[in-house]
Amino acid sequence: MPCEVAARFLILYGSQRGQAQSIAEEIGQQAAEHGFTADISCLSNQHKYNVDHEIRPVVFVVSTTGDVDPPDTAQKFVRKIKNKSLAHDHFSHLRYALLALGDTNYANFCNGGKTIDSRLQQLGAKHFYATGHADDGTGLEVVVDPWIEGLWDALKKLFSSMSTSNQQGTDLRDCTQDNYHKNASGQEKNKSDLEVDLHLLKLSEVDSEKGKTITSDTSDVETLSTALVASLKQSVPTLSESVLNVPALPASYLEVHLEQGSTERSKRLRTTGIDDEQNIAYQPGDAFDILCPNRASEVEELLLRLDLQTQNNCAVQVNLLKNSSKKAAKVPLHIPQNGSLQFILTWCLEIRSTPKKAFVRALADFTQNGSEKRRLLELCSKEGSADYNSFVRDANVCLLDLLRAFPSCLPPLSLLFEHLTKLQPRAYSAASSSLQHPGKVHFVFNVVEFPARPEHPARTGLCTGWLADHVSSILRPLGTVPASEHLGTSALPKVHVRPRPSSTFHLPADPSIPVVMVGPGTGVASFIGFLEQREKEREVNQEATFGETWLFFGCRHKDKDFLFREELERFAHNRILSHLIVCFSRDEPDAAGTLNSPTYVQHNLRLHAKNVASILLKDKGCLYVCGDAKNMAKDVNDTLLEIIGNELQIDKLDAMKIVAGLREEKRYLQDIWS
């Protein structure tokens, strides 16, 4: 009987910031509850798996980094499967499912997963389950949760088919096309699940450990009137009266000990791992990761809330729990052994991250008050998805906000270490050229502000707020001498950075190639570096031919936020910048203005459509777009399609093919963020 062997499948993940890995581990954790055994590996660990000869079903979970690329951990795998010498049936033995993670704020949605998916198909691999495309812009869980739910039936059908045929090579293509469809929200669903979906309110809350039905303690749950308005703290009917279907309780897998004594390791990490000063080479278009700490006030509040304020300097020991049911459990690498608790909460854990439903579910088990526990269970339940989206995800609620809202919740430190992700650096584009400023790099940033809401107090972005505090001592009014000229180097604020080189977002090697730059707001930063670079290149090689440079810049107010105005006007005056095209979205038109005056950069692109089209289509020039992904980059892309369509008199589909070709040739490049 091959059943035991057949019930084993492989999960491979490619993760940049941990989301794909977390989802892969969640699939592995749930597998046992459905009668399967899952082996899990990162795509980078190619010594642990071999898809060239893999007879088990394979589930891929792959994110996208930047605008187009698979994550760093998947790059080697992608290069391997893209080998042109591979036969067209190289993966004809492979049965797989793929969950791609992406963000629709970027033009190439889920491109990392799509790249792997299409190449596997080209080489003969076959789906046993429809590919899922999860959107971080609207909430990954909207697609991820139902995709995982449908995965188990798909696996059961596959294993049943394999058992019936008594071989691994059965053609299961029909399983994909006939058994799955998309519902109104675009999610992949199994037809056999429809009745379950229609009767979710009849399902009971399921205990994750034993699969038994449990009932929430509602003895002290307040009776809610329909006149009440839903909030983070409370629900209204019908949710408040529903039987809940909650996610599985995540298995605990860490134990944490606090020891009085030396924390020299954390001091050493601070001085050697973070404070490392060195001259770093970079090109205009590169970015730098800024390593910023969590807010000291928030760390102190968290310590106080967990009743650990007197143990902030204790050394932390983290070990795996014996007999944990978590598959492939390991101590997180971003938590240093023997570091002080204060150091770990300040520099290692993302305490501002929005808690996922699994974390909310775990927090409910450490909440004493019945009504508070019920509300946390509602927020993580299927029935409470709308409330979770409104009051947790969309509201940018963090762990501290939940602990404020639910005062009887007192989680152990181990739970935080299990669910809080690594504190990630924030990337900022270089706004300078090392030719112009040897040994220095310039950054530009706007302070991100989150206004007060019922769910949380007013606060600034983690990194931008920290940077603003750092530079406040050296800010100067326009026209005055910079404070830094009066201060010694040791008195200047320290910012910890590391390079994040771009593989493509650079000026063309041939200076005669014309370039069009679109950079509203702080998106202009990279192009200051471009122009400084061109200025120095022209000084060194005055006989060379230099192509035209166009910059489309926009901001709200000409007199308030026209960044680098003096520098840009100087570049234009010296012909380093051939054309400076600006617009101001919030300024009233002057006496000569019209109601149709350009408001945004895409409007100016339309006004100069023939020039833009000529540069891209005839002169083989390059288009660079830098700035906001959510609105600006999409609008610019739509405008480019319109310009090319009008210029060549072709329909939108053909224009899209032209634009795709520009991307492939690395002549349409984006450095965008959401």
Residue 154 lies in a domain: yes
* Count of domains forming the chain: 2
* Residue listed under structure tokens 């794909």: 20
Q: What is the pLDDT of residues 27-61, one digit of tens each?
A: 988 888 888 989 999 999 988 899 999 999 999 99
In the predicted model, what is the mean pLDDT of residues 91-100? 96
- CATH number, domain at 29? 3.40.50.360
Q: What is the pLDDT of residue 495?
A: 85
CATH number of residue 557's parent domain: 3.40.50.80
On whether residue 456 sits in a domain, the answer given is: no
Among 226-230, 272-276, 661-665, top mean pLDDT goes to 661-665
Q: Which residue has the higher pLDDT, 168 or 360?
A: 360
Task: Please tell me the predicted confidence (pLDDT) of residue 197.
Answer: 27
For the ranges 41-55, 260-274, 491-505, 530-544, the lowest mean pLDDT is seen at 260-274
**Mean pLDDT, residues 580-593:** 76
Look over the chain and give the mean of its residue pLDDT values, rounded to a whole number.
84
Q: What is the pLDDT of residue 193?
A: 30
Q: Residue 532's pLDDT is what?
A: 97
The share of the chain scoring above pLDDT 70, in percent, equals 82
pLDDT band at 261 (very low <50, low <70, confident <90, very high): low
Q: What is the pLDDT of residue 329?
A: 86
Residue 319 lies in a domain: no
- Domain termination site, one of 132, 161, 190: 161
What's the pLDDT at 514? 98
Whether 614 is in a domain gets the answer: yes
Q: The dihedral of CA 42, 47, 50, 51: what is its sign? A: positive
- Which stretch of DSSP H or E encloses residue 607? helix 601-607
DSSP H stretches of helix in 255-356: 264-268, 296-305, 341-347
Cα–Cα distance measured from residue 188 to residue 443, given in angstroms and rounded to the nearest whole number: 43
**Predicted confidence (pLDDT) per residue in 174-197, tens digit:** 333 333 333 333 344 333 332 222
Please give the angle made by the CA atoms of 343, 347 and 350, to the nearest 5 degrees: 125
Task: Let me know if residue 398 belongs to a domain.
Answer: no
Q: Which of 86-95, 190-199, 222-231, 628-637 is the least confident region?
A: 190-199
What's the rounded mean pLDDT across residues 519-542?
A: 95
Average of pLDDT values for 557-577?
94
Please report whether residue 537 resides in a domain: yes
pLDDT in tens, 354-400: 999 999 999 999 999 999 999 999 999 989 999 999 999 999 999 99
End position of a domain, from candidates 115, 138, 161: 161
What is the CB neighbour count within 10 angstroms for residue 492?
A: 14
Check whether 605 has a pLDDT greater than 60. yes
What is the C-alpha separation between 286 and 434, in angstroms, rounded?
11
77 vs 1, more confident? 77
Element (H, E) at 519: none
pLDDT band at 473; cut points 50, 70, 90: confident
Q: 81 pLDDT exceeds 90? A: yes
**Structural domain harbouring 53:** 7-161
Of 105, 140, 161, the residue at which a domain comes to its end is 161
Q: How far is CA 360 from CA 29, 251, 273, 419, in A?
A: 17, 13, 33, 10
Please report, for residues 302, 521, 523, 544, 578, the alpha-carbon distance to residue 628 in angstroms, rounded to integers and kept in the order given: 33, 9, 7, 35, 24
Q: What is the pLDDT of residue 590?
A: 56
pLDDT band at 235 (very low <50, low <70, confident <90, very high): very high
pLDDT per residue over 268-286, tens digit each? 444 333 334 456 789 999 9
User: Residue 29: its pLDDT value, please?
Assistant: 80
CB 116 within 8 A of CB 163: no
Asked if the structure places residue 95 within a domain, the reply is: yes
Per-residue DSSP letter, 269: I
CA distance 490 to 492: 6
Identify the pLDDT of residue 476: 57
pLDDT at residue 219, as a whole number: 41
Measured in degrees and rounded to the nearest 5, phi and psi for residue 663 equal -65, -45
Q: What is the pLDDT of residue 2?
A: 39
Residue 264 in any domain: the answer is no
Helices 370-380 and 357-364 meet at what angle, rounded to 10?
160
Strand partners, 100: 62, 133
